[in-house]
Amino acid sequence: MPLLRGRLMLLGALRHAGAGSVGALSVAYAVSALIPAASAAAMGLLIGHVQLAVGGLSSAALPLALFVVVLLLGHLVDAAIEPLRYLVRTRIDGAHRAEVASLAAAVPSLDRLEDPQVRDRIRLVAADPGNWTEKTPGDGALAQLHLLARYVGAAGAAAVLAAYAWWLIPLLAVPALVGRAVRSRDFVKLARLWAQGVRQGRRADYWKHLVMSPAVGKEQRVYGFGEWAVDRVAQGIHASLDPVWAFNRRLWRRSTATAAIMFVPLAIGYAAVAHAVTQGNTTAAVQTAVFAAGLGVYLAVGGTFDESGDIEGALPVLQAMARLREEFGTSHFPGGLTRVLPPMSNGRAGTRSDGAVPTRTPLVELSGIRFAYPGTGRPVLDGLNLTIHPHELLAVVGLNGTGKSTLIKLLAGLYEPDAGRITADGVDIRQLGIGAWQQRLSVVFQDFVRYEMSVADNVTLGNGVVPPNSSARKRAAAEAGLEHLLARLPDGWRTPLARGRSGGVDLSGGQWQQVVLARALYAVHTGARVLVLDEPTAHLDVRSEFELFGRLLARPGRASVVLISHRLSTVRRADRIVLLDGGRVAECGTHEELIRLDGSYAAMFRIQAQRFTHGYDDRIDSEPM
């Protein structure tokens, strides 16, 4: 990145801190930077008066007062700087973190979010201030502002020096600038090394999470892999940080050498001035002023160790942020989060783009879908065609690994098919906008998320873009069979579903499944038109499952329901059943039609029925038949 552009980016970050605090800090920095020059001038004046004073020190009272005022001002300004820095840094970093979170949330598809490079970039921009190697945009912006103030201070000290010994200015400034350039380059390398270790650092973070998380705690204890995981944390930290530490050691050694480059001319200059005093060529007052002003120039230009580290450390963060903004910055929620969605077809006959008038308007159509997970050559779905009609209950069955969940992920726009298209009311969902399309869907994933929040929040998260709607929540809870549980919870809807929170409880697998169903049904009652359930009853007892299925048959909110289940006794009541095999729909029809067809579905059903009569579980056997 060009030098100037990077610097401007850092200064641009100051806008998040507000004009008042940045203005106050700039003034404080500038005054503080000018203190060495002012004290050099005041000191020279004072010593000159003291030397000339014949009738006591009274004639030096004024310069003495001036010197004291300068010192006091320095103290006052320095005291104000720290709180101002804190304010500016926290505001900049707060705005930065909020933007990182919203960009990560805006990544529309899982393949982008799972891309290791995107994950690295997100980790890099997270800039953890608790880790001394990481610099935040706040650190960088403050350092850049301070550096500008240092140059103001250097100019002031140089002006004082010019009045007494102008030749000392280049003697001090040139080596100081060279030393600074060398250090800046070193810090660029340091920041690059840190960025290269981000992936290893992410692995260490993952293992750290495994060691600390109560959810993993069960297995970690039973399987006894705690020590092993701690070892992995250490390995990850060493792999990511050892090169940084090694370079840092070199940097400190080199900084001693660059300090010498700057110090030697200062010492020579000082010796020359001291010699002039002893020869009577100049006065002690001049010598004092030159010494103080020279030190001012030396410190202002040369002593920029901290700034270089903060500036060069923060720049990669801002660069990665700019990349993320380019990739994901455009809103995937056109019209804002509380927009009103355009109405969808309610099943009346309509005209298709090809001009034909279908007997029944398809709500959703997947045609010619082929898809392989990124980085894998083998397609999971290949030539899949499927229509989801308005208000129907469509069951999707198939053996393990035949692509049922993958089909749902494509339908939800989490991955893009490699070939084929998905349309809603004849419009390609990419044209609708994935964000807008996702608002019409409600999905219970097989690996649903258990949020450490109250029951109410766990349910209303089902639609985060409309204001919480308590009547929709109650309705969803009733349909999901959650009412019994709610009546028994210590604080009803407000009970946190996490043992780690005060008053919190943990739920059984089946109870969690009911909460998650309520979440999905809440989405339906607040606008979603397609309800997708991937194994929603795996943890439910037979009676709860039967009751739930009865309620699904009533089509909550008149939504279409897509149900994935291995329990054929459950799905037999669906309007239509499709069997996936070989990456496509192999059989399709009602239960009776598929039994008459006497294909794979009928064979699976017979096996389950036999198991049922023999008292075994009634799930599809995962072995190929």
**And the tokens for 72?**
């006091």
What letter would DSSP give residue 496? B
In the bound state with ligand ATP, the residue whose beta carbon lies nearer, of 151 and 512, is 512
**And the tokens for 567?**
């329990």
**Shortest distance, position 534 Cβ to ligand ATP, whole Å:** 7
Could you list the residues that contact ligand ATP (CB under 6 A)? Answer: 373, 376, 380, 398, 400-406, 446
Which segments of 329-445 does DSSP mark as H helices, in order? 404-411, 429-432, 434-438
Are residues 413 and 429 in contact, defined by beta-carbon separation less than 8 angstroms?
A: yes
**Pairwise CA distance, residues 251 & 140, whole Å:** 19
The order of strands in the sheet holding 419-424 is 381-388, 364-371, 419-424, 427-428
**Shortest distance, position 586 Cβ to ligand ATP, whole Å:** 13
**Shortest distance, position 232 Cβ to ligand ATP, whole Å:** 22
In the bound state with ligand ATP, the residue whose beta carbon lies nearer, of 373 and 546, is 373
In the bound state with ligand ATP, the residue whose beta carbon lies nearer, of 28 and 574, is 574
Collapse the DSSP code of 73 into the 3-class scheme (helix H, G, I; strand E, B; otherwise coil) and give the result: helix
**Shortest distance, position 604 Cβ to ligand ATP, whole Å:** 12
In the bound state with ligand ATP, the residue whose beta carbon lies nearer, of 381 and 552, is 381
In the bound state with ligand ATP, the residue whose beta carbon lies nearer, of 387 and 406, is 406
Nearest CA-CA partner of 516 in 535, 492, 541: 535
In the bound state with ligand ATP, the residue whose beta carbon lies nearer, of 566 and 576, is 566
Angle at 46 between CA 41 and CA 51, to 5 degrees: 130
Are residues 577 and 562 in contact, defined by beta-carbon separation less than 8 angstroms?
A: no
**And the tokens for 170?**
């280049």
Which segments of 53-115 does DSSP mark as H helices, in order? 61-106, 110-114
In the bound state with ligand ATP, the residue whose beta carbon lies nearer, of 270 and 373, is 373
In the bound state with ligand ATP, the residue whose beta carbon lies nearer, of 281 and 446, is 446
**Shortest distance, position 409 Cβ to ligand ATP, whole Å:** 8
In the bound state with ligand ATP, the residue whose beta carbon lies nearer, of 17 and 380, is 380
Q: Kindly write down the DSSP assignment for every residue of 463-484, as one continuous string.
A: GTTS---HHHHHHHHHHTT-HH
CA of residue 579 relative to chain centroid, distance: 39
Secondary element (H or E) of residue 350: none
**Shortest distance, position 93 Cβ to ligand ATP, whole Å:** 33
Collapse the DSSP code of 200 into the 3-class scheme (helix H, G, I; strand E, B; otherwise coil) and give the result: helix
**Shortest distance, position 1 Cβ to ligand ATP, whole Å:** 34
**Shortest distance, position 120 Cβ to ligand ATP, whole Å:** 18
Count CB neighbours of 435 within 10 A: 18
**Shortest distance, position 377 Cβ to ligand ATP, whole Å:** 11
Amino acid, single-letter form, for residue 576: R
Environment class of 372 (CB within 10 Å of its CB; exposed 0-12, middle 13-18, buried 19+): middle
